Amino acid sequence: MSKPILAPTPDAPGLTRRVIGTDHTGAPLEVTVVEERPLTIWLNSQEIVTAMTIGDHPEYLALGFLANQGMLSEQEDVTAVDFDAELETVVVRTAAQTNYEDKLKKKTRTSGCAVGTVFGDIMEGISGVTLPDAKVHSSWLYSLAHQINQMPSLYLSAGAIHGTVLCQKDQPLVYMEDVGRHNAVDKVAGWMRANNATAQDKILYTTGRLTSEMVIKCAIMGIPVLASRSGFTAWGVELAQQVGLTLIGRMRGQRYQCVAGEDRLVRDVDLSAKEDSVSNRRSDR
């Protein structure tokens, strides 16, 4: 098993702190908790949004958020991404002037943890999305779930975190975590943008539930397959069917449920074989 290009570093300074509490018997104990801090994202001279985040990879978060909101097209020339830790701001600068005041007036609050937001007509805009006809093998899904379950994670030490992993076939490439699943997805999108990564042969794996927001972001990123060990929302399923996204959830051992994009699935595993007996170390997040 090769290591991802980018993976969580749970011991990195500033991501967690120790607090004093008591257990169920009243005995004192120290608890590791995840840090949560504001990050204000600017696009040139326009303040766009303040997100609550764990604070790692702010440049990727800003790039991915703006791209997933339709504020940065693939053709947009990004000249700089400047992060100021003291001011807790990141400014994305483009060669051409931008103006998104009208888009900012219209926004939809979504169900994402830490309050996700979809600006303007993004949801209507996915009607024109065409996703590639890439295949996904059951064996890849099983391998990915096992590998991701064994990787170092803030969730194991502190909980209160969501993870999103960009994968290619059975190989995890980039693993991002944050207090909100939408932030983790945006970090992946930002990494893809910064590294000119293609989307048509990728799988996006998330630890959280498969909501409309997750489907929208995945479709905008151009990734044809979205998978999770958690479940679905009705609108998430409806949108996945509308845009032709393969949506796979409730992944447990050799079991999973596919509610959209069935035609991409290649079931290449003998299900009569004994199911993996290794128990999951992590529950739904």
As given in the structure block, the two tokens for residue 173 are: 């490439």
Amino acid code (one letter) for 49: V
> For position 103, what pLDDT does the model report?
67
Query: Residues of 217-230 as b/e, b for ≥16 C-beta within 10 angstroms?
Result: bbbbbbbbbbbbbb
What's the pLDDT score for residue 156? 83
**pLDDT-derived band at 119, boundaries 50, 70, 90:** low
pLDDT at 124: 59
Q: Which two tokens stand for residue 52?
A: 């609550």
pLDDT grade for 97, boundaries at 50, 70 and 90: confident
CA 199, CA 167: separation in Å to the nearest integer?
10
Quick one: what percent of the chain has pLDDT higher than 70? 86
What six digits make up the tokens of 58?
């702010």
Residue 276 scores a pLDDT above 70? no
Which domains, and CATH codes, for the chain?
136-266 (3.40.140.10)
pLDDT at residue number 277: 44
- Residue 65 CA to residue 71 CA, distance in Å, equals 9
List beta partners, residue 51.
39
What integer is the mean pLDDT of 100-116? 56
Burial class (CB in 10 A: 0-12, 13-18, 19+), 83: middle
Residue 125's pLDDT band (cuts 50, 70, 90)? low
* Collapsed DSSP state (helix, strand, coil) of residue 181: helix
Structural tokens at position 10: 């749970």
pTM: 0.89
Establish how many alpha carbons lie within 13 A of residue 250's alpha carbon, considering only the half-sphere containing its beta carbon.
8
Output the pLDDT for position 84.
Answer: 98
3-state secondary structure of 201: coil
Distances from the Cα of 127 to the Cα of 45, 218, 239, angstroms: 30, 13, 9
Query: Is the pLDDT assigned to residue 285 strictly greater than 60?
Result: no
Euclidean distance between CA atoms 180 and 186, whole angstroms: 10
If pLDDT is split at 50, 70 and 90, which confidence band does 280 have?
Answer: very low
Among the residue ranges 49-63, 73-87, 150-164, 257-271, the one predicted with the least confidence is: 150-164
CA gap 283, 281 in Å, rounded: 7
**pLDDT number for residue 114:** 45
Average pLDDT over residues 73-97: 95
Closest by alpha carbon to 52, among 181, 217, 157, 190? 181
- pLDDT value of position 85: 96
Distances (CA, A) of 90 to 39, 67, 84, 210, 281: 7, 15, 6, 28, 35
Give the pLDDT confidence of 30-39 residue by residue, as tens digits. Answer: 999 999 999 9
Half-sphere exposure of 159 (CA within 13 A, CB side): 4
217: CB partners within 8 A, 6+ apart: 68, 182, 185, 186, 189
For residue 278, pLDDT over 50 is answered with no
Check residue 74 and give its pLDDT: 87
Residue 47: closest CA among 101, 5, 83, 117 = 101
Q: What is the pLDDT of residues 136-175, one digit of tens each?
A: 999 999 999 999 999 989 888 888 899 999 999 999 999 9
Write the CA distances from 165 to 70, 208, 251, integer angstroms: 22, 11, 15
